[in-house]
Each structure stands twice: as C-alpha cells, then as structure tokens.
Amino acid sequence: MANEHDIDMLKEDKQQIERVDSKYNAKTTQDAKFEKRVLRKIDSRLLPILGCLYTIALVDRSNVAVARISGMDEDLGLAQGNRVSIALMVFFIGYIIFEIPSNAFIHKLGAANWLAFLAVAWGLVSLGIGFLHNWIGLAILRALLGVFEAGFFPGCVYLVSSWYKRYEVQKRMAGFFLTASALSAFANILAYGLIQISKHHHYKGWRWIFIIEGAITVIAGIGSWFIIVDFPDSDRNTFLTAEERTFVKARLAEDRGPEEHEKVTIKILATTAADWKPWAYSLMYMAGAVGVYAFLFFLPIILRGGLGYSLELSFILSTPPALFAVVEAMTISWLADKFQMRGPFVIFQGLVGIIGLCMTGFLSSPTPRYIGTFLGVAGANGLVVTTLAWQANNIVGDARRAVSTGILISVSGVGGIYSSMVFRQQDAPNYLPGIVAVMAINVAAVLVAALTMLVLRHNNKQADEGKYLCEGREGFRYTL
C-alpha cells in the first residue's frame, strides 16, 4: 500500500509540475508575442520616415554629380582648376564642425522638432542651388548644406540605437541606411527625367534637378514632424500605450543596465574624447564613408567618361550597384546580429571594398570594371553600418553614446574632404590615384578593426577574472 501511495503522490506531483510548466510556457509565449508586436510598432513608425529623409539627404548632397554631366560644369565654370574639389570639400567643413553639437540639441529640442527643422532648412538651400550663376555661390550654398545636414544622420543613429537592444541595432541601422542608399541611386533616373524639362522651359535641366528635389525635401521635412518619434523616455510617444512604453524601457535597462539620461556636459565630452574606442571606430567608419562619397560623387563620371557609356546608360547603370549593396549588407547585418559579433564583419566588408576598388581601378575591360563597382559600393556601405552598430554596442550611457556618435560621424566628414581632394579634376575620368587612396584607407581600417578586437577580447578576459570593469559596469562585456 505504501508503494501505491508513493506512486500516487509522485503522479500528483508530476501533474502539478506539468500544470506550472504549461502556465509558464503560455506566459513566455504571450510575452514573446507582446514583444514582437511592440517591436513591429516601433519599426514601422521609426525606420520608414528616417529612411525617407535620409534618402532625400543623400540625393540633395550628391545630385551635383549628375548635374555636372548635364551642363552644370559649363554654366558655373567648374571645369577650371580645383573648383570642383573646393565646391565638394566645403560641404564637409560645416558638416564636421556641427556634428557633435547637434546631438546635444536633439535631446533638448526633441527628435521630431530638430530633425524636421534640419530637413526643411537643407531643402531650401538645395532649392536655391538651382538659381545660381557662378561657382562661388555653389561653394557658399554647399557649405550651408553641410551645416544643416550635419545633425541629421548622427541624430538618426542616436535615436535608433536608443530604442533597441544591442544585438537588434545593426539590422535596423542597415535597414534605414541601405534603403536610403538604394533609393538615392534611383534618383539618378529621376534626375534624367528632370533634365528633359529643359527642352520645354527656359531653365536648363540641371537646374530643375535642384529646384524640384529641393521642393520635395521641404515638403517632406514639414510632414515628417507629425511622424518622427522621440526617445523612449518621452511622453510624446503616444503611438505606444503606457504599458508598452514601460516594457520598452525595462527591456533596454535589462540589456544595457540603467541608462544615464544626463545632459551632454563638458566633462562627458572630455572623457568620451579621451577614450580610444570612439577614435578607432571613427577610422573604420571614415574608410566606409570615403568609399560611399567617392561612388556618390564620381560614379556617374567614371561610367560616362572612363567606361565610355552613353549619358542615358550612365544614369541607369549607377543604380544596380547600390541595389546589390543593400542585399549584401543586409545579409551581413543579419549574420552579425545572429552571431553577436561585429569585428569580423567589419574586416570582411573592408576586404570586399578593396577587391572592388582594385577591379574598377586596374582592369581594362568595361564589364569587369563595372562589376568592381558593385563590390566597391557594397563594401563601403556595409563598413558604415557595421561600424555604427559596433560603437553603439560598446559605448554605455546615453550622453556618452551621443558624443561618441557625433565624433564618429564628424570624422567621416574628414573622409568626405579626403575623397574630394584625392579625386582630382586632372585625373578624370578614371580617377586612378583617387581609387588607390580609397584602397589605402580601407587597408588601414581592416588593420585597426583586427587590433580593436584583440584589445576588447583581452579586456573581456580580464573582466571574467575580476580584474577589470568593462565601461565601469559590473557584468558588461564588449562586443567583439
């Protein structure tokens, strides 16, 4: 009887455990569904509008490339001396100076107010370029364009990294950045259509590129104010319920530790600038940015003059490399988040870019050279998004991350100046010295990424042994 009683007790205990497990699994499943629903709401509200505005920013920044092969050089006298390099370079002076201060404004004024204002401002400047009659006016307005565009991309990166866990970030950044890169390439086809307006109106076609696209930017900037969300701690985010807002803040705190929502101060600026990591990430990011700008500004000219394609084909063929870059870099971003690693993928993208640049610069046949642009564009764009995610993963604290992002993208402005200076007018249309210069900085980025991984791995090992605090936080480990 005792044995039968024991068996009955065991059966009853087993049934109770199964009931508890069932309830726990149901709750876990319910929480997972709730989390997915909240993330979908954030994704759909945050990423499309940022992608749309960044597409417009890239178009307004780079449409000088297609305008140049459509009569702008002759009308503004850009073909003389280094006027092209100067007009391209001055954009990055304001861009560099105003990058870091911009992320202080975004928290003070709110993301929607600040980002929408910037879009309207640079849209008006871009529109004004369509009415210029000399190259000095172009240089002045491009300098202003740099001032207003300076705050947009770091603000977007800061905003996106504030809403997601560390290993959810790269896919999102890749989504809005690469979509913008691809859509901006389609703008070359739109530009070709706008050029045809000159056949029926007084203004030449290249002017309509700036007038129409600038007006679109102003309208989009005004509309974006009603859509852009603020930071997770803001009461303005009424698209989420109170329960959902609490859930978002809790999951972020669990992932990173309690966020420090302090203001950006001189002390935080100084301590962040004294840290070696933002500067290492900045060099990697700059290598990607140099490649992105080089292809943005000079690919249509290389296709037209260097590879010998017609004007129409030069517009059309500048789009496929950007589309390939989206597929390649999104795949890499998915893998990087899945394996929770960044450094190996930074190195991979740098090598892809180097191979593509070699093909474009040193091969003689047009088709292999054109294929090289696919790899070059993919490597450059992938290097940008992977580095952005790496620095966002490893910089703890709201204010420090804002400063670090500003440093990162400010240094990328130096890359813009670099690409403007090494792609010289006298080297057109093949720009071989410029291509070699971009390859050199990609090699440097690969070496710095490898060294950074070694140092961070050593720091993590010391933290495991209780000899070091990563970012001054117990339990925090660097992403390699």
- Percent of the chain at pLDDT > 70 equals 91
Of the listed ranges 41-50, 328-337, 397-406, 455-464, the least confidently predicted one is: 397-406
Of the listed ranges 64-73, 125-134, 253-262, 272-281, the least confidently predicted one is: 253-262
Residue, of 23 and 403, whose pLDDT is higher: 403
Cβ atoms of 128 and 44 closer than 8 Å: no
pTM listed for this prediction:
0.75
Residue appearing with tokens 């992403």: 479
Nearest C-alpha neighbor of 303 from the set 289, 321, 287, 291? 321
Residue appearing with tokens 């809790």: 250
Rounded to whole angstroms, the Cα distance separating 189 from 199 reads 17
Token reading at 357: 């640049």
**Helix boundaries (H) for 110-163:** 111-129, 135-149, 152-163
Rounded to whole angstroms, the Cα distance separating 464 from 459 reads 9
68-121 tens-digit pLDDT:
877 888 888 887 778 888 888 888 888 888 877 777 788 788 899 999 999 999
Q: What is the pLDDT of residue 199?
A: 58
Instruction: Please say whether the dihedral angle defined by the alpha carbons of residues 339, 340, 343 and 348, taken in this order, is positive or negative.
Output: positive
Long-range pairs of 454-463 with CB within 8 A, sequence gap ≥ 24:
456/343, 456/394, 456/480
Rounded to whole angstroms, the Cα distance separating 150 from 137 reads 20
Give me the residue spans of the domains in the chain: 46-471
Rounded to whole angstroms, the Cα distance separating 2 from 72 reads 99
Average the pLDDT over 419-423 and give the result. Answer: 81
Cβ atoms of 266 and 355 closer than 8 Å: no
261-270 tens-digit pLDDT:
567 778 888 8
How many angstroms separate the Cα of 405 from the Cα of each of 102, 181, 215, 385, 415?
A: 11, 20, 30, 12, 15
Of the listed ranges 42-51, 291-300, 331-340, the least confidently predicted one is: 291-300
Residue 25, pLDDT > 70, answer no
Assigned architecture for domain 46-471: Up-down Bundle (1.20)
Spell out the residues 6+ positions from residue 301 whose beta carbon is closer than 8 angstroms to its own.
65, 68, 69, 428, 429, 431
110-120 tens-digit pLDDT:
899 999 999 99
Rounded to whole angstroms, the Cα distance separating 447 from 352 reads 14
